[in-house]
Structure 1
Amino acid sequence: MISITSVLSIPDNEISFLTSRSSGPGGQHVNKTSSRVTLVFSVQDSPSLSDYQKQLISIRLAKRINSNGELQLSSEEHRSQFRNKEEVVSRFAKLLADALKPVRKRKKTKVPYATKRKRLDSKKKRSEVKKGRSKPDY
């Protein structure tokens, strides 16, 4: 069971893991072990998510979801398959939690009086400088 938020958890049977050989340096170890872990989660087929949550995830993570409606995350940072699996599960939980966060509306605030005063004073000062450059009236 992967806990996403305080009210949402994804059961392990909705997630599948694929392993493959990792790329990069590592000598013979890289050639012998399948340490890269890919997490596959079908957003539309998940019974744990409500229709609203599915829609929200599909919109916010559209670039990460493939044409089959699957969210795929992979990790190959560590040498061990176990640590890569832990890494990808924690990234998955954070990604879903961020996608499901409500967007707060911006509260309008007034421009402070001191800021207005400062702006007007600087305009007056600039005006005086420009007036000082002109020829005097006799």
Structure 2
Amino acid sequence: MLHVTDDIAIHDWELTESFVRASGPGGQNVNKVSSAVELRFEAERSPSLPAPVKTRLKRLSGRRWTKDGALVIQCDETRSQARNRDIARDRLIELIRRSLTTPKRRIATKPTKGSIRRRLQAKKVRGEVKALRGSVTDD
């Protein structure tokens, strides 16, 4: 069981880990040991997460979210399989914690009188510059 907060804990059946061969440094060890971790979390079917958290998690995870509603996190940072597993689980916990906070609603405000005046003045100056670009006539 993976504890995210005091209220939210992810059960073991919701997580699937598969180990694959990693690329990068490691010498002959790379060709022999499957040290990279692919952590799959069945977020859509998870009873641990409320519906609004699931929608925010889907938006935050981006392309890591699959069509069948699973969140896939890959990690091949270190040469140690156990360390990569811990890093992947920490990334999942951090992503879920970020999706727990509701975003602030934007309060619509009016532009100030000064900003309206400056904008109109800038438009007038720009219009005068463009008006001077016309063809030159002899007087």
TM-score if structure 2 supplies the norm length? 0.70
Instruction: Report the secondary structure of 1:63's partner residue.
Output: helix
CA separation in 1, counterparts of 2:5 and 2:52? 12
The match for 1:56 is 55
CA separation in 1, counterparts of 2:32 and 2:58? 39
Match of 2:78, as an amino acid?
H
The match for 1:38 is 38
Instruction: Report the secondary structure of 1:26's partner residue.
Output: coil
* Aligned partners of 2:57 and 2:95 also within 8 Å: no
Instruction: Report the secondary structure of 1:72's partner residue.
Output: strand
Does residue 19 (structure 1) correspond to residue 19 (structure 2)? The answer is: yes
Per-residue deviation, 1:29 = 0.4
Specify whether residues 55 and 88 from structure 1 end up closer, same or farther in structure 2 by C-alpha distance, changes over 3 A only: closer
* Aligned partners of 2:58 and 2:65 also within 8 Å: no
Specify whether residues 58 and 107 from structure 1 end up closer, same or farther in structure 2 by C-alpha distance, changes over 3 A only: closer
Percent identical residues = 36
* Aligned partners of 2:22 and 2:36 also within 8 Å: yes
The match for 2:133 is none
How is 1:1-138 mapped onto 2 (pairs within 5 angstroms)? Answer: 1-50=1-50, 52-53=51-52, 55-57=54-56, 59-60=58-59, 61-106=61-106
- Structure 1 unaligned runs (5+)? 110-138
Aligned length: 133
CA separation in 2, counterparts of 1:4 and 1:56? 17
4+ long deviations beyond 3 Å: 105-109
* Aligned partners of 1:41 and 1:70 also within 8 Å: yes
* Aligned partners of 2:43 and 2:54 also within 8 Å: no
Instruction: Report the secondary structure of 1:37's partner residue.
Output: strand
Instruction: Report the secondary structure of 1:90's partner residue.
Output: helix
- Structure 2 unaligned runs (5+)? 110-139
Per-residue deviation, 1:78 = 0.8
Q: Deviations over 1:6-42 (max 9, x none)?
A: 3111112210101000001211100000000010011
TM-score if structure 1 supplies the norm length? 0.70
**Superposition RMSD in Å:** 3.3
Match of 2:76, as an amino acid?
E
Specify whether residues 19 and 59 from structure 1 end up closer, same or farther in structure 2 by C-alpha distance, changes over 3 A only: closer
CA separation in 2, counterparts of 1:72 and 1:59? 11
